[in-house]
Amino acid sequence: RILHQGEGAEARLDGLILADENQVADTHTRIDHLVPDCRSFQQHKCIASGNSTAVFSGNIVVHRDARGTDTRQSSRNLLLSNKARIDAQPQLEIMNDDVSCKHGATMGKLDAEELFYFMSRGLQEAQARKLLIYAFAAEIMDRIPIPNLVRSLRESMEGRLV
Protein backbone atom coordinates (compact mmCIF):
# COMPACT_ATOMS: atom_id res chain seq x y z
CA ARG A 1 0.00 0.00 0.00
CA ILE A 2 1.23 3.45 -0.90
CA LEU A 3 -0.13 6.62 0.73
CA HIS A 4 0.63 9.91 -1.01
CA GLN A 5 0.58 12.26 1.99
CA GLY A 6 3.05 14.90 0.82
CA GLU A 7 2.09 17.33 -1.90
CA GLY A 8 3.88 16.54 -5.16
CA ALA A 9 4.81 12.98 -4.15
CA GLU A 10 5.51 10.43 -6.89
CA ALA A 11 5.56 6.63 -6.88
CA ARG A 12 6.25 3.92 -9.43
CA LEU A 13 5.04 0.40 -8.67
CA ASP A 14 6.00 -2.40 -11.05
CA GLY A 15 5.13 -6.07 -10.72
CA LEU A 16 5.84 -9.29 -12.58
CA ILE A 17 4.22 -12.67 -11.89
CA LEU A 18 5.69 -15.85 -13.38
CA ALA A 19 3.21 -18.64 -12.63
CA ASP A 20 3.53 -22.20 -13.88
CA GLU A 21 2.36 -25.75 -13.16
CA ASN A 22 -0.40 -25.54 -10.50
CA GLN A 23 0.81 -22.34 -8.84
CA VAL A 24 -1.55 -19.65 -7.63
CA ALA A 25 -0.13 -16.10 -7.52
CA ASP A 26 -2.31 -13.42 -5.96
CA THR A 27 -1.23 -9.75 -5.95
CA HIS A 28 -3.20 -6.91 -4.37
CA THR A 29 -2.10 -3.27 -4.38
CA ARG A 30 -3.59 0.02 -3.29
CA ILE A 31 -2.34 3.54 -3.92
CA ASP A 32 -4.10 6.41 -2.11
CA HIS A 33 -3.72 9.96 -3.39
CA LEU A 34 -4.60 12.10 -0.37
CA VAL A 35 -3.12 15.51 -1.27
CA PRO A 36 -2.72 17.66 -4.42
CA ASP A 37 -0.36 17.24 -7.34
CA CYS A 38 0.83 13.67 -6.79
CA ARG A 39 1.70 11.13 -9.44
CA SER A 40 1.65 7.35 -9.54
CA PHE A 41 2.54 4.91 -12.27
CA GLN A 42 1.76 1.23 -11.93
CA GLN A 43 2.60 -1.48 -14.45
CA HIS A 44 1.82 -5.09 -13.65
CA LYS A 45 2.46 -8.09 -15.89
CA CYS A 46 1.48 -11.74 -15.46
CA ILE A 47 2.86 -14.69 -17.41
CA ALA A 48 0.90 -17.88 -16.75
CA SER A 49 1.49 -21.39 -18.06
CA GLY A 50 0.48 -24.94 -17.17
CA ASN A 51 -2.58 -25.05 -14.93
CA SER A 52 -1.61 -21.91 -12.99
CA THR A 53 -3.77 -19.03 -11.81
CA ALA A 54 -2.58 -15.44 -11.46
CA VAL A 55 -4.63 -12.64 -9.92
CA PHE A 56 -3.90 -8.92 -10.01
CA SER A 57 -6.16 -6.58 -8.08
CA GLY A 58 -4.87 -3.01 -8.13
CA ASN A 59 -6.82 -0.14 -6.63
CA ILE A 60 -5.92 3.52 -7.04
CA VAL A 61 -7.97 5.90 -4.91
CA VAL A 62 -7.96 9.64 -5.63
CA HIS A 63 -9.41 11.38 -2.57
CA ARG A 64 -11.44 14.58 -2.55
CA ASP A 65 -8.47 16.88 -1.72
CA ALA A 66 -6.14 15.33 -4.33
CA ARG A 67 -6.63 17.80 -7.19
CA GLY A 68 -3.98 17.71 -9.91
CA THR A 69 -3.38 13.97 -9.47
CA ASP A 70 -1.80 12.18 -12.43
CA THR A 71 -2.05 8.39 -12.30
CA ARG A 72 -1.63 5.53 -14.76
CA GLN A 73 -2.33 1.86 -14.11
CA SER A 74 -1.71 -0.96 -16.58
CA SER A 75 -2.18 -4.72 -16.32
CA ARG A 76 -0.74 -6.69 -19.26
CA ASN A 77 -1.06 -10.45 -19.25
CA LEU A 78 0.30 -13.37 -21.25
CA LEU A 79 -1.35 -16.81 -21.26
CA LEU A 80 0.97 -19.63 -22.37
CA SER A 81 -1.48 -22.53 -22.08
CA ASN A 82 -5.18 -23.17 -22.50
CA LYS A 83 -5.49 -24.23 -18.85
CA ALA A 84 -3.78 -21.19 -17.32
CA ARG A 85 -6.00 -18.45 -15.93
CA ILE A 86 -5.37 -14.77 -15.22
CA ASP A 87 -7.81 -12.50 -13.41
CA ALA A 88 -6.89 -8.82 -13.90
CA GLN A 89 -8.78 -6.18 -11.91
CA PRO A 90 -7.34 -2.68 -12.36
CA GLN A 91 -9.55 -0.27 -10.42
CA LEU A 92 -9.86 3.49 -10.05
CA GLU A 93 -11.87 5.34 -7.40
CA ILE A 94 -11.93 9.04 -8.24
CA MET A 95 -13.45 11.64 -5.91
CA ASN A 96 -12.07 14.78 -7.60
CA ASP A 97 -12.72 16.04 -11.14
CA ASP A 98 -9.42 17.95 -11.54
CA VAL A 99 -7.28 14.86 -12.24
CA SER A 100 -5.78 12.78 -15.06
CA CYS A 101 -6.36 9.07 -14.46
CA LYS A 102 -6.01 6.14 -16.85
CA HIS A 103 -6.14 2.40 -16.37
CA GLY A 104 -6.51 -0.69 -18.49
CA ALA A 105 -5.87 -4.38 -18.90
CA THR A 106 -4.91 -6.62 -21.81
CA MET A 107 -4.88 -10.38 -22.07
CA GLY A 108 -3.46 -12.53 -24.82
CA LYS A 109 -1.30 -15.35 -26.07
CA LEU A 110 1.97 -15.22 -27.96
CA ASP A 111 1.40 -13.61 -31.35
CA ALA A 112 1.42 -16.26 -34.11
CA GLU A 113 2.75 -13.77 -36.67
CA GLU A 114 5.66 -12.82 -34.40
CA LEU A 115 6.44 -16.51 -33.84
CA PHE A 116 6.34 -17.11 -37.59
CA TYR A 117 8.62 -14.12 -38.22
CA PHE A 118 11.34 -15.42 -35.89
CA MET A 119 10.97 -18.99 -37.15
CA SER A 120 11.27 -17.78 -40.76
CA ARG A 121 14.64 -16.32 -39.76
CA GLY A 122 15.96 -19.66 -38.56
CA LEU A 123 14.91 -19.87 -34.90
CA GLN A 124 13.30 -23.04 -33.62
CA GLU A 125 9.80 -22.59 -32.19
CA ALA A 126 11.02 -23.01 -28.59
CA GLN A 127 13.69 -20.34 -29.13
CA ALA A 128 11.17 -17.95 -30.69
CA ARG A 129 8.72 -18.50 -27.81
CA LYS A 130 11.47 -17.87 -25.25
CA LEU A 131 12.53 -14.67 -27.01
CA LEU A 132 8.96 -13.31 -27.06
CA ILE A 133 8.39 -14.22 -23.39
CA TYR A 134 11.64 -12.52 -22.34
CA ALA A 135 10.71 -9.44 -24.40
CA PHE A 136 7.32 -9.29 -22.67
CA ALA A 137 8.95 -9.44 -19.21
CA ALA A 138 11.86 -7.14 -20.09
CA GLU A 139 9.88 -3.92 -19.66
CA ILE A 140 9.56 -4.68 -15.94
CA MET A 141 12.90 -6.42 -15.43
CA ASP A 142 14.86 -3.61 -17.10
CA ARG A 143 13.70 -1.21 -14.38
CA ILE A 144 15.04 -3.37 -11.54
CA PRO A 145 18.24 -1.71 -10.25
CA ILE A 146 19.59 -4.89 -8.59
CA PRO A 147 21.60 -7.00 -11.10
CA ASN A 148 21.54 -10.14 -8.94
CA LEU A 149 17.75 -9.99 -8.72
CA VAL A 150 17.43 -9.59 -12.49
CA ARG A 151 19.76 -12.55 -13.01
CA SER A 152 17.70 -14.63 -10.57
CA LEU A 153 14.47 -13.73 -12.40
CA ARG A 154 15.95 -14.68 -15.76
CA GLU A 155 17.13 -18.02 -14.34
CA SER A 156 13.68 -18.60 -12.87
CA MET A 157 12.10 -18.04 -16.29
CA GLU A 158 14.56 -20.40 -17.98
CA GLY A 159 12.80 -23.64 -18.75
CA ARG A 160 9.74 -22.95 -16.57
CA LEU A 161 7.55 -20.97 -18.92
CA VAL A 162 8.69 -22.04 -22.36
User: Dihedrals φ, ψ of 21, to 5°?
Assistant: 50, -120
The string of DSSP letters for 35-89 reads SSS-EEEEEEEEEE-TT-EEEEEEEEEE-TT-TT-EEEEEEEEEE-SSS-EEEEE
The percentage of the chain sitting over the pLDDT mark of 70, rounded to a whole number, equals: 98
Q: What is the pLDDT of residue 72?
A: 98
Kindly report, residue by residue over 68-106, the tens digit of the pLDDT: 999 999 999 999 999 999 999 999 999 999 999 999 999
Q: Which of 2, 11, 4 is nearest to 66 (CA)?
A: 4
Sequence length of the chain is 162
Q: What is the pLDDT of residue 157?
A: 83
Average pLDDT, the chain: 95
Say whether pLDDT at 162 is over 70.
no
- CA–CA distance, 6 with 34 (Å, rounded to integer): 8
- CA–CA distance, 118 with 44 (Å, rounded to integer): 26
Measure CA 70 to chain center.
Answer: 19
The overall pTM is greater than 0.85: yes
- CA–CA distance, 89 with 108 (Å, rounded to integer): 15
- Tell how strand 100-108 and strand 53-62 pair up: unpaired
- CA–CA distance, 103 with 58 (Å, rounded to integer): 10
